[in-house]
Amino acid sequence: MKKTRPLILITNDDGVSAPGLRALISVMEELGEIVVVAPDTPQSAMGHAITINNTLYLNKTSKENDSFLEYSCSGTPVDCVKLAVNEILKRKPDLCVSGVNHGSNSSINVIYSGTMSAAVEAGIEGIPAIGFSLLDFDWNANFEPIKSYIRKITLEVLKSGLPEGVILNVNFPKLEEKDIKGIRICRQAKAHWVEKFDKRKTPQGRDYFWLAGDFVNQDKGEDTDEWALANDYVSVVPVQFDLTAHHAIQQLNTWKWNE
C-alpha cells in the first residue's frame, strides 16, 4: 500500500513573492505534498489581525502543470490560514509552516509577528505548526545556510508531533551553515522595544510619524532565545495560545471579590 505523503500548508507575512517563502517551499517540497496560501502584499507586524470589515480575495497563482497549488490572499497571514483550512484544503494538513521571515521574531517580537500569528492560528485549528525566521531583514537574504536545519526541525515535528496547544518559534542567526553551533531549546527572553516616533510634515503641512526605536534585552539568562542567537545557535521556543497567567490564579483567589 502506498504511503500518503504528509500534507503541509505553507504561509508567511512577507508576501507571496518573498524569497524566504520560496526557500521554505524548496525544503517542504522534498518532505510532503504542499499547498501555499500567502498574502498578496507584505503584512509584517500584523500580529493576529483578521479581516472583518472588507472583502477577502483569493487568487490562484499556480498553473496546471505546477507541482503544487499556490494562492495569494488579499488579507492577513491569519486570514490565509483560515481560508486554507476552510475553503481550499480537502483535509486538515499534517503541518503548517510559516516563513521564512525576513528578520527576527525572537523574544517580545513574537507578539507582533504576522509570521508567528499564522502559525498560532494553525495551532488553534489543531494543526502542528512552526514559524521560521532569519535574523536578516535584507530582501535578498541568503537562506541556503539554514535549509538543513529547517528540514531537520520539520522532520522531527512530523515524526514526533507537538504537545497540545504548542507551536514552535524558530529563529536562525545570520551565519554560514558551518558557523552555526546547533539547536537550543529556549525560553523567550524578557525584552522590549523603547519606541521613538520620527515626526515629519507633509508638503501640505500635516504631521505624520514613522515608528522607530531600540530593542532592549533585560534578560541575562543563558537559556533564552536572545542568548542562543547571540552565541550562534538556532533558537527554538515552544509558545502557546493559552494566554492565561496560571501562576496568578491562586493569588487572585485570595482577594475579597464577593464581600
Mean pLDDT, rounded, of the chain: 94
Who wins on pLDDT, 82 or 195? 82
- Where do the domains of the chain lie, and which CATH numbers do they carry? 7-189+222-252 (3.40.1210.10)
pLDDT band at 3 (very low <50, low <70, confident <90, very high): low
State the pLDDT at residue 196: 85
Mean pLDDT calculated for residue range 147-165: 97
Q: Provide the pLDDT for residue 215.
A: 82
pLDDT reported for residue 1: 45
- Look at residue 121 and tell me whether its pLDDT is greater than 50: yes
Kindly report which listed range (45-49, 56-60, 129-133, 169-173) carries the lowest average pLDDT score.
45-49
Question: Half-sphere exposure (CA, 13 Å, Cβ side) for 185?
Answer: 5
Helix (H, G, I), strand (E, B) or coil at 170: strand
Angstrom distance (rounded) from CA 103 to CA 106:
9
Nearest-angstrom CA–CA distance, 12 and 23: 12
pLDDT at 19 over 60: yes
What percent of the chain is modeled with pLDDT above 90? 85
CA–CA distance, 234 with 225 (Å, rounded to integer):
8
Name which residue leads in pLDDT, 46 or 233.
233
> What phi-psi label fits residue 249: left (phi over 0), alpha (psi between -120 and 50 degrees) or beta?
alpha
pLDDT of residue 208: 92
Q: Which residue has the higher pLDDT, 39 or 195?
A: 39
Q: pLDDT class for 70, splitting at 50, 70, 90? A: very high
What does the DSSP assignment read for 143-168?
-GGGHHHHHHHHHHHHHH---TTEEE
53: DSSP letter: S
Beta strands 69-73 and 58-60, pairing class: antiparallel
pLDDT category, 194, cuts 50, 70, 90? confident
Q: Is the pLDDT of residue 2 over 60?
A: no
Residue of 119, 180, 143 whose CA lies nearest to 24: 143
Residue 230 DSSP SS3: helix
Q: 246: how many CB neighbours lie within 10 A of its CB?
A: 7
- Per-residue pLDDT averaged across 121-126, rounded? 97
Average pLDDT value for residue range 16-40: 97
| Strand ranges for the chain from DSSP E | 7-11, 33-39, 58-60, 69-73, 95-102, 129-134, 166-172, 183-185, 191-201, 207-217, 234-240
Q: Residue 210 pLDDT > 90, yes or no?
A: no
Collapse the DSSP code of 67 into the 3-class scheme (helix H, G, I; strand E, B; otherwise coil) and give the result.
Answer: coil
Q: Count of CB atoms within 10 A of residue 87's CB? A: 11
Indicate whether 72 pLDDT > 60: yes
Over 50: is that where the pLDDT of 227 sits? Answer: yes
| Rounded distance between C-alpha atoms, residue 186 and residue 225, angstroms | 5
